[in-house]
Structures are given as C-alpha cells and as structure tokens.
Amino acid sequence: MHLRVVALILIAVMVVACGGAPDTAGRGDQEAEPVVVMCIVDQVWCQVAVDAFSAETGVDASFVRLSAGEGLARIKAEAGDPSFDVWFGGPSFFPVAAAVEGLIEPYVSPNAAAIPSQFKDPSGTWTGVYQGVVGFCSNRQILEELQASAPSSWRGLLDPVFVRNVAIADQRTSGTAVTAAAALVALLGSEDAALDYLRQLDPNILQYTKSGSTPGRMAASGEVATSVIFAHDCISIGMETGVDLVVSFPVEGTGFEIGQVSILAGTPHPSAARTFVDWSLTAGAQELAATAKAFQIPTHPDAAVPPESIPLTDVRMAPGYTRELAERLEAGDFVNRFGAEIRNGVTAPAA
C-alpha cells in the first residue's frame, strides 16, 4: 500500500509540475510560443481555425469560446494582464469599446491591405474577417401549426400570433442582439423609440439567450416558432439539425456586423498573436469557415463565398445603419437601459 501511495504522489507531483510549466515557458521562447485565442464564433469553426493555423504556421494555438459580451467583460477585468492574445470573431464594435479603455493593441497587418476599407479600422484596432446580417430564423413546421408565415418585417414580429414564440439574444451578453438593436435605432430614429419597440416585443419573447445563435437552435428544436439571429447561423443550424428552417429579413431594413480580429493589449505572446492575425486575413483562412459549416461572408475579395450564404446584396440594410451607430450603442448606456427597463433588472441569461 505504501508503494502505491508513494507512486501516486510522485505522479501527481510530476503532473502538476509539468502542468504549471507551459504557463511560464511562453515568454521569451519565440520558436514555440503558443497563442491563446478568445474566440467568439461557433466552437466548431474555432477548432478548425486553430488546427489549421497550427498546421500551417507551426505555432501552437488553443482557444476559449465566449460570447462577445462575456469576452469584453473578461478582458476588462483582466485589464492589462490578459490570459488571451487574440480576439477572434464577434462584431467590430466590441473591440472599439475595449479600445476606449486601452485594452486593444492596434496592429495593421500586411495582409490587411487586401481587405476593402469598409471592413477594417484604419488605425488597426481591428480588421474584418467576415460579414453577417441579422434576420429571422423560423421553424416551418411550427409556423404551419400556428398557421402563421415567417415574419417579413419588424412590425410583423410584434404580431400576437407570436406570443411567447420568439427567441432573441440578450444585449448584455450578445453582439447579435446589439446589432439588431442598432438597426432598430436607425429605423426608428432614437434609442428611446428602439427601447419602446423592444418593450412591445417583450411579451412575444419566450427566452432571452446568452449566445447569439442559441435562438436559432430553439427554433430548430421547436421551442419557439421564430428567432432573431444572424442569417448565416440560421443556415448552419438548419444544416446541422436537418430541420426545415426558413430565413427571412425585415422589409424595413436590417443591420449587419463585421466580424473582427484584434490583438489584446499586454498580450504575453505578441509575435504569435500577429502571426495569427496575418493568417486569419488570408483568403484561405477565411474559406475555412465554410468547412466548419459557418456561412458568414468572407471579407477578402478573393475568398470564395460559400453557395449557401446569402449575399448581402439581396438584403436591405436599415437606412442610417452604420458601424459607428452600433459602436455608440455598445459603448454607451443603451445596453444598461435595456437591462434595467426591458428586462426589469432580471439577471442576464446564463445560457
């Protein structure tokens, strides 16, 4: 018995010792610097990206998947001593908000030159890797049972037939919801008017979810009839589950996001971080999304657009909707007001 106990202790000690090592080994060793990615996009895409990056560049990479709001909160808390190097995915207005607090390290990648100017920040705070547009994602079967048709307008979403049959993300945690809200602000003219709309929409909402794409899953599983999510997510989910999902867009106009990549200030592995950013801006890297069944539109003009994607030209953007508008919403008080007035201070969702 003694020997066993001693052996176990030895193993344990060894393990913990080895386990502790990588955390401190990173600095200074340029050859095998691992890079940690804070990844907002779908987990599968994260995995594919990280694997491909490691294979192509030889740099070790790992990721943690968070929702955009979580990510922002996390780096704010870690202020200056981040456990991540790169912020990959999620709408561009998030790094803008973070940059205000000095949490982003600007970097203009040589590969950014190929990216059109509307998809990047000139000072290098962030660079765009994909685009997405907000739409409605409905479950055809449930619609039939309700004898309703897929919503075709924001007004239509307020219809009593959809009472407790709509799912949408919570703005406090999800970039998708903020994008949608920004579109509403643009359409209705003011933050108050947008909040008013959301107040009217509230009885129709069954659940506010943490993650932007979860509403689509709820539609797919039949929990709700329709949901407000990015169109590309709807397509992925439909493919994954095999459920007949219908994508539709509000005729008044909708909002879009530019998925970003950026480097966190104070990153422990600046060189590897840059390598990752460079890589992610290549057409090849962007095309990987489709293999992970993510159907955002790549920003690189040479990257092939997956046939399943919905081209942005087919969708009407809300007049007056700009990136900056979304950035202002995120950085300002709107999200808090949403939490207080629409959600009555109810805690943001955990799932």
Partner 1 sequence: MMLKRAETPGPWPRWSVAFGGRGARVMTSIRGHGVLGVGVGLAMLLVATFVLYPIVQTMTYALDGQARTVWEGLLRSAETARVIRNTLVIGVATGTLGTLLGLVMALIQTRTEFRFKRALHLIALIPIVSPPFAVAMSIITLFGRSGLISRRLFGVRYDIFGADGLILALVITFMPAAYLSLVGMLQSFDSSLEEAAADLGASTWTRFRTVVFPLLGPGIANSFLLLFVSAIADLGNPIILDGGYTVLSSRLWLAIIGESDLAEGAVLSLLLLVPSLIVFVLQYAWLRRRSFVTVTGRPVSRLHPITQRNITWPLYGVALPTALMIVLIYGYIVVGAFTKVWNINFTPSLEHFAYVFRGPGREAIGDSFVLALAAMPLAGLAGLLLAFAVTMRKFPGRRVVDFASVVGVAIPGTVVGIGLILAFNQPSLGGLVPRLTRTAAIIVFALTVRSLPGVVRVTAGALNQLGSNLEEASLTLGATRGRALRTVVLPLIRPAVFGGLVWSFARSMTSLSAIIFLVTPQWRMITNEILNEAQAGRYGNAAAFSVVLVVVMVAAMKLLAMLTGFRPTNQLGTE
Total chain residues near partner 1 (CB under 8 A)? 59
345 binds partner 1 (CB under 8 A): yes
Chain positions 259 to 288 lying near partner 1, rule: CB under 8 A, are none
113 binds partner 1 (CB under 8 A): no
64 binds partner 1 (CB under 8 A): yes
Question: Looking at 242, 307, 313, 314, which residue binds partner 1 (CB under 8 A)?
Answer: 242
50 versus 186: smaller Cβ distance to partner 1: 50
- Cα 281 to Cα 129: distance, rounded to the nearest angstrom: 6
144 binds partner 1 (CB under 8 A): no
160 binds partner 1 (CB under 8 A): no
85 versus 257: smaller Cβ distance to partner 1: 85
188 binds partner 1 (CB under 8 A): no
User: C-beta of 337: minimal distance to partner 1 in Å?
Assistant: 15
Question: Looking at 243, 263, 310, 318, which residue binds partner 1 (CB under 8 A)?
Answer: 243
Residues 219, 97 contacting (CB under 8 angstroms)? no
Residues 291, 279 contacting (CB under 8 angstroms)? no
291, amino acid identity? T
3 binds partner 1 (CB under 8 A): no
280, amino acid identity? S
307 binds partner 1 (CB under 8 A): no
- Cα 230 to Cα 290: distance, rounded to the nearest angstrom: 15
Residues 100, 121 contacting (CB under 8 angstroms)? no
59 versus 183: smaller Cβ distance to partner 1: 59
240 binds partner 1 (CB under 8 A): yes
- Cα 117 to Cα 313: distance, rounded to the nearest angstrom: 18
User: C-beta of 98: minimal distance to partner 1 in Å?
Assistant: 13
Whether the CA torsion 43, 260, 218, 332 is positive or negative: it is: positive
User: C-beta of 131: minimal distance to partner 1 in Å?
Assistant: 22
33 versus 70: smaller Cβ distance to partner 1: 70
332 binds partner 1 (CB under 8 A): no
351 binds partner 1 (CB under 8 A): yes
Compute the CA torsion angle 314, 319, 323, 327 (nearest 10 deg): -140
| Contacts with partner 1, residue ranges (CB under 8 A) | 1, 4-5, 8-9, 11-12, 15-16, 19-20, 22-23, 36, 42-43, 47, 51, 62-65, 69-70, 73-74, 76-78, 83, 164, 172-173, 206-208, 210-211, 213-214, 217-218, 220-224, 240-243, 344-351
